[in-house]
């Protein structure tokens, strides 16, 4: 979800206004995803590196996050959306951590869409932390590592690997996002700023993805 600040600056608005508009794009995307047969949607809301931003902006983002959780919880329940916040929680304000826990509990029965929101998240830090946990004996190493990775990020067990990564605002880098889970993901880089992202962009991205040939290291089958 990149480009909130640039969207606001181009209109002479504050960065906070851009983040608020970005929250509207979140709602549009969450509502459109199930209609496009998307079962799991992960949004990168706040990275571990974002703590380096000015305190006023961090505070605004955290306020917006708590407001979103409080305001959207009932809507998520009504629409069958299950929330799972991934990332660290020990550095969040207690009120925000409680809001996350309340919303996750309230939406736990949702089956229409698994909405994962990455907050205070770093894939490299998560991989490093998971590597320090003791492995299970006689377990498949890769499956056991995923279990440990889920544990340190608070991720739900059994979440499928990432199929498609969409990066907005024209940036063409991974930025420490789901490095393990995106091993075989397809990537799509869009020039649109996140506050302008809507159903049409998501629909076009899904159509592009479904037209790609995913071989996962295998040879493409020859037509008979």
pLDDT tens, residue by residue, 170-208: 999 999 999 999 999 999 999 999 999 999 999 999 999
The whole model's pTM is what? 0.93
Pick the closest to residue 155 from 65, 211, 89 (CA basis). 89
Ranges in the chain, pLDDT < 70: 220-224
Catalytic residues: 2, 50
Can you identify the CATH homologous superfamily of domain 12-161? Answer: Decaprenyl diphosphate synthase-like (3.40.1180.10)
Give the pLDDT confidence score for residue 221 in this predicted structure.
54
Helices (H), 79-140: 94-106, 123-132
CA–CA separation, 29 vs 24, rounded Å? 9
Domain ranges of the chain: 12-161
Contacts of 203 (CB under 8 A, 6+ apart): 32, 36
Give the pLDDT confidence score for residue 143 in this predicted structure.
94
């Amino acid at each position: 979800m990149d480009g909130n600040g640039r969207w606001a600056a181009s209109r002479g608005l504050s960065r906070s206004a851009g983040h608020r508009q970005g929250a509207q794009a979140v709602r549009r995307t969450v509502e459109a995803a199930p209609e496009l047969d998307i079962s799991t949607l992960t949004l990168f809301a706040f990275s571990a590196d974002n703590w380096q931003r000015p305190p006023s902006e961090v505070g605004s983002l955290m306020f917006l996050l708590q407001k979103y959780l409080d305001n959207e919880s009932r809507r998520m329940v009504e629409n069958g959306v299950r929330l799972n916040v991934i990332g660290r929680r020990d550095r969040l304000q207690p009120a925000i951590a409680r809001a996350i826990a309340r919303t996750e509990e309230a939406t736990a029965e949702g089956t229409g869409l698994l909405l994962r929101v990455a907050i205070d998240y770093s894939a490299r830090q998560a991989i490093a932390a998971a590597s320090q946990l003791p492995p299970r004996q006689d377990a498949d190493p890769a499956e056991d590592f995923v279990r440990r990775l889920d544990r340190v990020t608070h991720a739900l067990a059994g979440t499928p690997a990432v199929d498609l990564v969409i990066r907005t605002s024209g940036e063409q880098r991974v930025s420490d996002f789901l490095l393990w889970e995106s091993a075989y993901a397809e990537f799509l880089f869009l020039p649109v700023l996140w506050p302008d992202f809507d159903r049409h962009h998501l629909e076009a991205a899904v159509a592009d993805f479904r037209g790609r040939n995913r071989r996962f290291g295998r040879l493409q089958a020859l037509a008979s």
